[in-house]
Amino acid sequence: MPASTIDHAFTAKGLTGSAGDPTYAGALSFMRRRYTKTIKGADAIVWGIPFDAAVTNRPGARFGPQAIRRAAAIFDNDPQYPFHRDITGELAVVDYGDCLLDTGDHRKTPGRIEREAAKLIKGGAFLVSLGGDHFVTWPLLKAHAAKHGPLALVQFDAHQDTWFDDGKSINHGNFVGRAVREGVIDAAKSIQVGIRTHAPEDCGIQMLYGYDVEEMKASEIATAIIERTAGAPTYITFDIDCLDPAFAPGTGTPVAGGPSSAKVFSVLRQLGQLDIVGADIVEVSPPYDHADITAIAGATVAQMYLGLLAERKARLA
């Protein structure tokens, strides 16, 4: 029996519950959640940051939020794998749309992202941000650290992002080093997973290289993350190039030799013990994608964040 309405993103009467839109039609909010600028009562907010002016190789991540939303349409209606639960039935999730940025003056970008992120998390909702290139994580970290104090960072990435920084440049390869130097993240409780390049410094952050991830079981990687973060407020940032290009070709700086999507998703699934206070998925570049492979992987990462949040809400109920 077809649903009585379509375009659930606009016609939904509440913040929970599945949509009846066909997978191939209807307004493409994230998982068909209601598009709204009213966040009262929301457990989680999905927010797009369409910015890619900080890339050092291939552009296109500004189209990432659109592609991730499109790919996420398939996650509605059925119980979401691997959580075996109706995430949107248990969790009040809204799609806040995108951050409006001044394309003529990128100096305004960090402050604009930070201020809006701070406003969104002020009431306690969990923010899932859809990038955009990896520079957007810098203002997101600042907003979350202002609320929670220095953060443990869990970074899934092929790159360390600790390159030299003058504190002012807008570059997707230096935000981690800047965050350590300014006390936004605690290096002693932070870990990078899937690294397959070398930067001049590690900033004291633990690294699991690509070959480590290849040799370790998913459970061993998850244990290493849990032990390293040691119960601290944790922010997860997932650069889609953490995955091998076979599983994520649509990204700006692909690096061969990475893990499969299945293995990394198994790691994410086992991070329920973490005190995750915010998360993002970045560097999805649709112009270099094929058959939405990368967008589907990116949407799955965001869905995993919401699944972990739904489980945490159920435990605390």
Burial (CB count within 10 angstroms: exposed 0-12, middle 13-18, buried 19+), residue 24? exposed
**Residue 159 is labelled as binding a ligand:** yes
> Is the Cβ–Cβ distance between 58 and 252 less than 8 Å?
yes
239 belongs to an annotated ligand binding site: yes
In a 3-state reduction of DSSP, which class is residue 278? strand
Contacts with 29 (C-beta within 8 Å, 6 or more apart), sequence order: 8, 9, 35, 46, 69, 95
| Residue 125 DSSP label | P
Q: Does the annotation list 8 as a binding residue?
A: no
For 140, 178, 199, 285, 304, the CA distances from 174, given in Å and listed in that order, are 14, 6, 10, 20, 27
Cα(217)–Cα(73) distance, integer angstroms: 31
Question: Who contacts 75 (Cβ-Cβ below 8 Å, separation ≥6)?
Answer: 31, 299, 303
Q: State how far Cα 37 lies from the chain centre.
A: 20
DSSP state of 35: E
From CA 93, how far away is CA 33, in angstroms rounded? 6
Cα dihedral angle (187, 192, 197, 199), rounded to 10 degrees?
-10
CA–CA separation, 303 and 76 (whole Å): 10
Tell which residue, 227, 221, 222, has the closest CA to residue 209. Answer: 221
Alpha helices by DSSP H, 149-217: 175-181, 210-215
166 annotated binding-site participant:
no
Query: 174 and 258 in contact (C-beta within 8 Å)?
Result: no
Asked whether residue 134 is marked as a ligand-binding residue, the answer is yes
User: Binding site for Mn(2+), residues?
Assistant: 134, 157, 159, 161, 239, 241
User: Binding site, residues?
Assistant: 134, 157, 159, 161, 239, 241
